[in-house]
Amino acid sequence: MTQAEKEIRFQEKIDREIKIEPNDWMPDEYRQTLVRQISQHAHSEIVGMLPEGNWITRAPNLRRKAVLLAKVQDEAGHGLYLYSAVETLGTSREQTIDDLHSGKAKYSSIFNYPALTWADIGTIGWLVDGAAIMNQVALCRTSYGPYARAMVKICKEESFHQRQGYESLMKLCSGTPQQKAMAQDAMNRFWWPALMMFGPSDADSTHSDQSIKWKIKRFTNDELRQSFVDATVAQAEILGLTIPDPNLKWNEARGHYDFSEINWEEFWQVVKGNGPCNKERLAARVKAKEEGAWVREAATAFAKKRAMKKSA
């Protein structure tokens, strides 16, 4: 079968909603874009642990500490799940992690913003995990089998993440004026970076057209962003928080909220590594790998010794 015939047959499988599995033939470009997207998704999960992990010891009470601990542990599991999905595409864990540390691979821009107050932690749960859910529910139907199956488990846990964040903000917004003000300040700082999580506008998206054709993506960046805004406005109103966008307005004709243009200059600066916390985040990941080397060496030595004992 020629390359062209293989590609036609591959696209027919995609069009007939047949999941692509690791041992199936796939175009190199399909494999590469999956490695790119899934590895960056995994990096986002792991780097996303940093701003939240920083607040575990400063949670206001034992319950909040236990909930935040559970969430951060979940994110580690999501990262490992997704790194395993990358390995099914033939890319080693070592290579994937090195690509992050060398700056070759990206992670979500949102994690380059600092978590300055306790209200940020609730806002991250509500807005950041809320945006992630909007994107990840669609990915439960992505054409690559291992990725789609990983998403089903991850989405269940993300729902808990969003709810715990929203509950924490409900507490603050019904608390003292200072607590309410702290929640509004967090909203002001995280609203626009949360919208940026969905990626550049469709006009500027490099990969969307092909990813939609291959059903890696089911919706475009702007479609998911719009769904997120439409779903979140009422939630903010219940909290009594103001969304920092004077042009946010329901458009009956469109059946959606109109909102202001995103500051794409800021978005691309953060993506390029010039955000408030980019350097700190990458340094933390490199340090974790270096400090964890002895654990990997000990585990490898133990495994070798046990294998030798078995074969003796």
The DSSP output letter for 109 is G
Quickly count: other Cβ atoms within 10 Å of residue 181's Cβ.
Answer: 12
Candidates 26, 39, 40, 85; binder of ligand 3HC (CB under 6 A) is 40
* Stretch of 15-23, 105-113, 175-183, 242-250 lying at the interface with ligand 3HC (CB under 6 A): 105-113
Tokens of 108: 């979500």
Q: Could you tell me the smallest distance in angstroms from the CB atom of residue 305 to ligand 3HC?
A: 37
- Cross-strand bridge partners of residue 258: 249
**135 scored as a contact of ligand 3HC (CB under 6 A):** yes
Separation CA 233–CA 248 (nearest Å): 9
Question: Among residues 68, 96, 106, 227, which is the contact residue for ligand 3HC, using CB under 6 A?
Answer: 106
Instruction: Answer yes or no: are the C-beta atoms of 246 and 260 closer than 8 Å.
Output: yes
How does DSSP classify residue 203?
A: G
Select the residue interacting with ligand 3HC from 19, 31, 36, 149 (CB under 6 A): 36
H or E segment at 256?
Answer: strand 256-258
CB-based contact 136:168 (threshold 8 Å): no
CA distance 8 to 225: 32
When asked if residue 39 is in the footprint of ligand 3HC (CB under 6 A), the reply is no
Residue from 117, 123, 211, 232 touching ligand 3HC (CB under 6 A): that is 211
* Closest distance of CB 196 from ligand 3HC, Å: 5
With binding defined as CB under 6 A, does residue 143 bind ligand 3HC?
no
* 244 near ligand 3HC, rule: CB under 6 A: no
Amino acid, res. 159: S
Q: Which residues bind ligand 3HC (CB under 6 A)?
A: 36-37, 40-41, 44-45, 48, 75, 78, 106, 108-109, 128-129, 132, 135, 158, 196-200, 205-208, 211, 221, 271
